[in-house]
Amino acid sequence: MRWTKTLIPTLREPPAEAEILSHKLLLRAGLIRKVAGGVYLFLPLGLRALHKIEQIVREEMDRAGAIEVLMPAMQPPEIWQQSGRYETARDVLFKVKDSGNREWVLSPTAEEVITGTAAAEINSYRQLPKNFYQISVKFRDEIRPRFGLMRAREFIMKDAYSFDVSDEAATASYQKMYDAYARIFERCGLKAFPVEADTGVIGGKFSHEFMVPAETGENEVVFCEACGYAANIEKATSGIPKTAAREIGAAIEKFATPGVVTIEALTKEPCKVPANRQIKTLVYIADSKAVIILIRGDDQLNEAKFAGKIGTTVFRPASAEEIFSSLGAHPGSLGAVAETLQRRSPTRPEGQTTPPAGSETGAPRILADERLRGANGMTTGANEDGFHFRHVSMERDIKVTEWFDLRTVTAGEPCAKCGKPLKIRRAIEVGHVFKLGTKYSEKFGAEFLDESGARRLSVMGCYGIGVTRTLQAVIEQCNDKDGIIWPLSVAPYRVCITPLNVAPESEAMKLAEKLHAELSARGVDVILDDRDERPGVKFKDADLVGFPIRLAIGEKSLAKGEVEIKPRGGALQSVKTGTAVEAVMKLVSKIAAADASPL
């Protein structure tokens, strides 16, 4: 390929829209261009790199025994209603209407389609196991698309779905995908590591995310260097002790706290209640109902854990008006002591003509963090502005509906496995594997006849890789001050030949064309920079785009019968023109071995 025959619109400065380094380099190197918020055009070099990643994914999926299919991006809403995700995932669903005013869902994933297909086509244990995968465009209605391909409205994903006869067989399928993911990211030149992860609205028994360490990553990973424990902060737990037990003491006592409306304020004079002896009361609205959440005063709510427990991402903090309607007080004086709630339930609050937001009976659901279980001698709001309760017992005074792990782990807490201090670092999620169980099989009737003729539900797993996100993760991890440093396996072109004199009759151009033809015949992806530009411009562009090897041909070096070869980020070396092809091939092999990437 000649540079002038393709389109590589490099930029000296990144557009203002670019927030992180990899996004800046995607734009500056001429790989993508923004069409709209969260929607991007892939230019020739970006598409070549993307195709190489897709090919690696495809090869490893095939190697693991998965079968490639292609499912529709436009799906009927009825199947999403059947799974229950039409509501629980409605905040990310794109919906469109056709000319007949019929609604369609633009697919963010495909559990519904593939499980319905399995229900119709698989009826015997002899047809199992099966694992179907596709590489296709997906859509998610990101409220705030950002960071380029990291959080886009339209993106390319590899999604796979396994069906097995038993839980044990499903675990084996899960392990195959887990191992395939490790190989995929290694072949792409990424240092990715698996962490325990929350299953979110997809559901399932357990899952792992594959993370790429990056200071600009949107995810936080909790890890232990001593024992190897690692989990997304949305899933992470620690060995931090529960609130110190105290005997149930005196009856609760109401005391005045005028103007005290924060945890911090309650720790100061004249109250002097430590944060770890306070109960923080939060009110959220989920499915149009109020939910009270109780955590210790020095802890923070982990909204992802909360979402997993209530089974939906459609929730929000209640407004001050909604809180007052449900509890009779404003934020800062809230609590869940049973007697204060009973005064407002099941009857309506004074002056209220409609039921409060909690439920039909007016009694909100109360979720409490496990760290509060058994806690006594606590302080909490009295549901009366300017007043709190002391001597509160979680067992005696508060009627908790359900106990969950709802808090966010912090750095320095002891590891639950070995007791050593936990650390936190930022990372980019590039892949996610789930063991789903029978959640979708039940809803779509994905059954089979076993050896005895009995009907049984298929046990499922699902597995996703963000292909476009992986492309950007490679750039985020592989760069220097001059630009991208592509791993050989996913580089748009492996070698850039740069003649400094591009006149057709020049010796430099004649040799450049000869080397281009010989390397191409040897199976090497080569681009010939035939632009009539200054050497400095051409060298800077080659470094910015990140070609692994640059072969420069100048009049001075030719006079000595030599050309110059420079690996990206490495040292310049001169070789004889007659050995240039072999020198490049040796360097390709050397870089491939260092990348742990195949040729």
Q: How many domains does the chain have?
A: 3
pLDDT at 471 (0 to 100): 97
Q: Could you tell me which of 454, 504, 496, 458 has the C-alpha nearest to residue 588? A: 496
Q: What is the mean pLDDT of the chain?
A: 91
Q: Can you tell me which residue has the tokens 């594997």?
A: 433
One domain for residues 178 and 151: yes
Q: Does the structure show a pLDDT above 60 at 134?
A: yes
DSSP state of 107: -
Distance CA 201, CA 206 (A): 12
One domain for residues 201 and 59: yes
Q: Is residue 234 part of a domain?
A: no
Lowest-pLDDT range, 29-43, 168-182, 210-224, 330-344?
330-344
Answer for the pair 190, 57: CB distance below 8 angstroms, yes or no: no
For position 559, which CATH number holds?
Answer: 3.40.50.800
The mean pLDDT of 123-128, rounded to a whole number, is 97
Domain boundary among 342, 370, 404: 404
Determine the straight-line distance between the first and last CA of the chain, rounded to whole angstroms.
19
The whole domain housing 509 covers 487-595
One domain for residues 446 and 308: no
3-state secondary structure of 209: strand
pLDDT at 358 (0 to 100): 41
The mean pLDDT of 550-576, rounded to a whole number, is 93
One domain for residues 292 and 376: yes
Q: Does the structure show a pLDDT above 50 at 353?
A: no
Q: Is residue 56 part of a domain?
A: yes
Q: Is residue 31 part of a domain?
A: yes
pLDDT band at 344 (very low <50, low <70, confident <90, very high): low
Distance CA 191, CA 196 (A): 17
Supply the pTM of this predicted model: 0.84
The mean pLDDT of 560-573, rounded to a whole number, is 93
Q: Does the structure show a pLDDT above 50 at 361?
A: no
Q: Does the structure show a pLDDT above 60 at 366?
A: yes
Q: Does the structure show a pLDDT above 50 at 357?
A: no
- Helix intervals (H) in 143-231: 167-187
One domain for residues 143 and 181: yes
List, for residues 162-214, the tens digit of each pLDDT value: 999 999 999 999 999 999 999 999 999 999 999 988 655 444 557 899 999 98
Q: Please, which contacts does 11-19 make with residues 24 or more away whose CB atoms are closer than 8 Å? A: 18/148, 19/146, 19/147
Q: Is residue 9 part of a domain?
A: no
The phi and psi torsions of 144 (rounded to 5 degrees) equal -130, 80
One domain for residues 461 and 353: no
Q: Is residue 385 part of a domain?
A: yes
- Interhelix angle 467-477/44-63, rounded to 10 degrees, is 110
Distance CA 549, CA 591 (A): 9
For position 467, which CATH number holds?
Answer: 3.30.930.10
Q: Is residue 296 part of a domain?
A: yes
One domain for residues 472 and 513: no
Q: Could you tell me which of 369, 398, 393, 403 has the C-alpha nearest to residue 383? A: 398
One domain for residues 356 and 398: yes
One domain for residues 31 and 168: yes
One domain for residues 63 and 170: yes
The mean pLDDT of 501-525, rounded to a whole number, is 95
Q: How many residues does the chain have?
A: 599
pLDDT band at 313 (very low <50, low <70, confident <90, very high): confident
Q: Does the structure show a pLDDT above 90 at 259?
A: yes
Q: Is residue 245 part of a domain?
A: no
pLDDT band at 308 (very low <50, low <70, confident <90, very high): confident
One domain for residues 40 and 182: yes
Count of alpha carbons within 13 angstroms of residue 261, beta-carbon side: 9
Return the bridge partners of 111, or none.
none
Q: Is residue 378 part of a domain?
A: yes
One domain for residues 204 and 279: no
